[in-house]
Structure 1
Amino acid sequence: MADLDARCWVLDPPCPRAGDAYRRIALGKNVSMMVVIDPHTPMTLPRLEFTGPEAEVTLHEKAVQDNVDKWDPSVSISANLSALLGFEVPSRENATSEEVDCTCGICYSFLLDGAVPDKLCQNSRCSRPFHQSCLSEWMRSLPMVRQNFNMFFGECPYCSEPMSCRM
């Protein structure tokens, strides 16, 4: 895990400890990847979970599927992840915060009460991420938002595309 902490842009946990078996890494374009290491076999292929705009996530998942045979237990985890994805994983040294921004478009933080931004604007030119709770609170405050059962129907605060979220 020290390799990931040193060579990747780690978003979560904010203060990694030796016992944390996961890291959420920024990949860029509002995309992040959760890397979950099996502590019993740390050099084997970890579980990877992508979060971000659907089109970007699909590209990364396909790259991993296409390159899974490139995983080499004798090299570092960060080098293996770069081989799987087909590009150098961003680090704080080789990327800017604008390139890897995964913060909520309302509260401007990544973690809020332990939750990451998981609701995305579906407009491919916007793709802004939001915490479910922030978006719900935002929509609750607007008079033009419609409510139906346990859902709000409104617009993205950035591009005005239609969006919905749970109450």
Structure 2
Amino acid sequence: MLDELRPFYDSFSSIDELCDVLQPCPITTKDNTRVFPLKERVYLKLTIADPFASYASMAVQIIGPTEEVAHLRHVLSDGLGNWDVELDMHKNLLHIFDLCYFPMPAEIDLKKDDDEQQRCNICFEYRLDNGEVPLVSCDNSRCVLKCHASCLKEWFNTLVEGKTFLEVSFGQCPFCKAKLSTSFAVLLKN
């Protein structure tokens, strides 16, 4: 039975070692999701729904500003057709996004010295009790907003003009007041 689960654990091992896994925290063997940076303000959420069928049940979601996410979804979609089953998930994702490496923990730790940039612009905390970190950023490239999905959802709920349509919520950025949309269903599911 445990041998059948080896591909599931192996799928995450190189990601856990070579990427700055932001969620879950701490990582345990029961977790089937990893969230890690792809680049500045853009994150990958990798989920394996069935531990006995790792590749068949894998889902990759891109979290970040709308324009970047739209472009990267096309890159991902095109790249999935060239998935090499001989390579692990980490190497395949690097090939898809044409990267040498994903941001690593040591690289990110240098940036964490500037603690103000890492904190949520709504609650002013970095990591919430449930392990959530600020992943949502404004679509306005000049805006520095970065916040927890749960904080932004609460903010949207206070807005008179805030709306939700097909699991996408629309509102205003609490920082620059630009129009902002996000899928809380994707961000808040573990």
- In structure 2, stretches of 5+ residues that fail to align are 1-11, 164-170, 182-190
Partner of 2:126: 109
Greater helix fraction, Structure 1 or Structure 2: 2
DSSP-derived class of the 1:66 partner: helix
Calculate the TM-score normalised by the size of structure 2. Answer: 0.64
Match of 1:46 among 48, 52, 58: 58
| Structural mapping, 1:1-167, within 5 Å | 1-37=12-48, 38-44=50-56, 46-87=58-99, 88-94=101-107, 98=111, 104-106=120-122, 107-111=124-128, 113=130, 115=132, 117=134, 120-126=137-143, 128-131=145-148, 134-135=151-152, 148=160, 156-157=174-175, 160-162=176-178
Greater alpha carbon shift after TM alignment, 6-15 vs 42-51: 42-51
Calculate the TM-score normalised by the size of structure 1. Answer: 0.71
Counting aligned pairs with the same residue, the percent is: 25
> Structure 1 pair 149/76, CA: closer, same or farther in 2 (3 Å)?
closer
- How many residues end up aligned between the 2 structures? 156
Report how far residue 21 of structure 1 moved. 1.2
**Residues of 2 paired with 1:47 and 1:102: CA distance?**
27
> Structure 1 pair 72/52, CA: closer, same or farther in 2 (3 Å)?
same
Alignment check: 8 A CA contact 2:139 2:180 kept? no
**Residues of 2 paired with 1:150 and 1:95: CA distance?**
34
Compute the RMSD of aligned alpha carbons.
3.5
> Structure 1 pair 103/80, CA: closer, same or farther in 2 (3 Å)?
farther
User: What residue identity is the alignment partner of 2:67?
Assistant: A
- In structure 1, stretches of 5+ residues that fail to align are 140-145
